[in-house]
Amino acid sequence: MCGRFSITQPTDAMARLFDAAPSNDLPPVPNYNVCPTNDVATVVAGDGVRRLVAMRWGFIPTWYKTPTDGPLLINARSETIAQKPAFAEACRTRRCLIPADGFYEWTKDETGARLPWYLYRADGQVMVFAGVWQTWRMGDQDLTTCAIVTTAANERLSAIHKRQPVILNPDQWALWLGEAGHGAARLMRAGAEDQVDFHRVGTAVNSNRASGPDLTKQINF
């Protein structure tokens, strides 16, 4: 799964990378500890134009009466996304890209203590998650929300966690966004074993209030 991530790319750099027009309400960067319910930068496409827009991380199904009316849906499983009522329509018609520098996962030691790891692209490029989105409306409330699509981890990453985000390469972005026709379902799988690298980081990130570049720094253990 993916429950926390980091993003340090400046807005103008992300706009250039995705050839997208940026909105004026994007969340501030850098953010080394993006948490569920935070606003995140996402890329959407329509009418031949890509846009870089802010969305709340935590997908709200249309039938929720309030944003907290049910579980917080930060991830969508690739194996069931097309059948789940919460995600089925979004999977077909509202897909997005969610840029990150990397994401955090946790293992446990023999005492049950949570040990954080930072996972990032081995080639040093921006990590781009497959996402789905929708706008939830109730009365005068209006929230555009998203979830990260996850899949079974490849053999190497399964040592850290059994799930991982679907990570898209640049040549896959157009297909996921619906710009290159049909067939996005085939992208919902783990990448190559050497696509992602990882290292242990300090336990400060165990707190969702933690911040700063030290959160991603490698520690010896």
Q: Which of these, 71, 70, 63, 87, lies nearest to 136 by C-alpha position?
A: 63
Angle formed at CA 26 by CA 22 and CA 31, multiple of 5 degrees: 125
State pLDDT tens for residues 158-176: 999 999 999 999 999 999 9
* Least confident stretch, 49-58, 104-113, 145-154: 104-113
> 5-102+123-152+161-191 adopts what CATH topology?
hypothetical protein yedk fold (3.90.1680)
Domain boundaries, the chain: 5-102+123-152+161-191
State pLDDT tens for residues 19-47: 999 999 999 999 999 999 999 999 999 99
